Amino acid sequence: MEKPFKSLLNVMEGIDQPGQINADALKKLKAGKRHAHTVKELTDGIMAGNRTLLSKAITLVESSLPAHQDQAQQIIGACLQSTKSKIENRNSKIVDQSIRIGITGVPGVGKSTFIEALGKHLTAKGHKLAVLAIDPSSARSKGSILGDKTRMEELAVDPDAFIRPSPAAGSLGGVARKTRETIILCEAAGFDVIFVETVGVGQSETTVHSMVDFFLLLMLAGAGDELQGIKRGIIEMADAIVINKADGDNIGKARIARVEYANALHLFPPPDSGWVPVADICSARSGLGIDHVWDLVMEHRKITGDNGFFHRRRMEQNRQVFRETIEAGLQHHFFHQEEISQVMATLEQGIMNGLVNPYQAANDLLEKYFRER
């Protein structure tokens, strides 16, 4: 039997046919899926605080496609300009309006619980908070700790908070670059507090430190530094060490640990910031001390704002970004030259066979590269 109209279902005779699909609606749905926003739409959306468009723009930032990168750079440029003019228009003495806070600590120390507690405290005070993460391992282990959907349940539905898991790029440098750019977009979208979280197990703390104004190290009482996998260098970078889980039977131990860390911090030479790093306790679960942690951040902001360190540090970070971007660009260009990769493969073979001097080979190859530019 010839069907009277197109149907989604294969219906049997004698049964009423279901309604026809609305062809127009279907067309719109398909078109909508494919609709790529223009740079202007995305930029305007970000400035208007539209979170969907902000997310889309971040996806462009995170993409490795050259066309996306091109658009991302235009958006970043516009966002930087907008944030700058907003500050200038306010004619404020404070040059930088947002505050960027790095949060680190070993898995299980309570980072997400802490971020949820402090985050709720901040949004209740009228702040807009963006939570970003740096986890270079997330590309490999799909079930990344920082990408876990069940974390920060309340913040995740808070209209004044925006949570973005770590970009799934391979190298730490790559992940860091994308996170730095994401910070710029979030600030242009009106987020005035930015948390950058990382798992305290290695190199990524240094990277986070290089993009924030305040670096917070979460610790546990009763476990040695070695046990917590925290290196001396990380402790030295901290603006505050906060011992979490100061609740129940643990409060006494947390207090003792605070004194120990305070003593340890005093052994370091005074930092250029004019701020003396502090040790404190909190309970992300009970809320004890959470507001005090924020007071510390604000105190640090005031001191470093007044003495000019806050601004200087950001400018220094920008200079670093400038250099790193050049380095990354040069590397990318070099390694993507067809003839270079071919010659490299041959030379590497020779090196592996002990026939080629690696220094000489590297110099020759670089010379060839520069000659042909």
Minimum CB–partner distance for residue 299 and ligand GDP (Å): 23
Q: Which is nearer to ligand GDP, 193 or 284 (CB)?
A: 284
**CA 203 to CA 215: how far, in whole Å?**
15
Minimum CB–partner distance for residue 244 and ligand GDP (Å): 5
Q: Which is nearer to ligand GDP, 251 or 362 (CB)?
A: 251
Q: Which is nearer to ligand GDP, 145 or 189 (CB)?
A: 145
Minimum CB–partner distance for residue 223 and ligand GDP (Å): 13
Q: Which is nearer to ligand GDP, 105 or 277 (CB)?
A: 105
Q: Which amino acid is at 348?
A: E
Minimum CB–partner distance for residue 125 and ligand GDP (Å): 21
Minimum CB–partner distance for residue 179 and ligand GDP (Å): 18
Contact of 133 with 105, CB cutoff 8 Å: no
Minimum CB–partner distance for residue 265 and ligand GDP (Å): 22
Minimum CB–partner distance for residue 282 and ligand GDP (Å): 7
**CA 156 to CA 131: how far, in whole Å?**
10
Q: Which is nearer to ligand GDP, 108 or 358 (CB)?
A: 108
Q: Which is nearer to ligand GDP, 53 or 146 (CB)?
A: 146
Which residue sits closest to ligand GDP, CB atoms considered? Answer: 110
**CA 12 to CA 306: how far, in whole Å?**
79
Q: Which is nearer to ligand GDP, 230 or 284 (CB)?
A: 284
The 8-class DSSP code of residue 324 comes to: H
Give the residues lining the site for ligand GDP (CB under 6 A). 105, 107-113, 145, 244-245, 247, 283-285
What is the SS3 assignment for 243? strand
> How far, in whole angstroms, is CA 129 from its chain's centroid?
13
Query: Which residues are within 8 A (CB) of 365 and not within 5 positions of it... i.e. 6 or more apart?
Result: 340, 343, 344, 347
Dump strand ranges (E) for the chain: 99-105, 129-134, 161-164, 193-199, 214-219, 240-243, 278-281
The 8-class DSSP code of residue 1 comes to: -
CA-based end-to-end distance of the chain: 71
Query: Rounded to 5 degrees, what are φ and ψ at 131?
Result: -115, 115
Contact of 311 with 95, CB cutoff 8 Å: yes
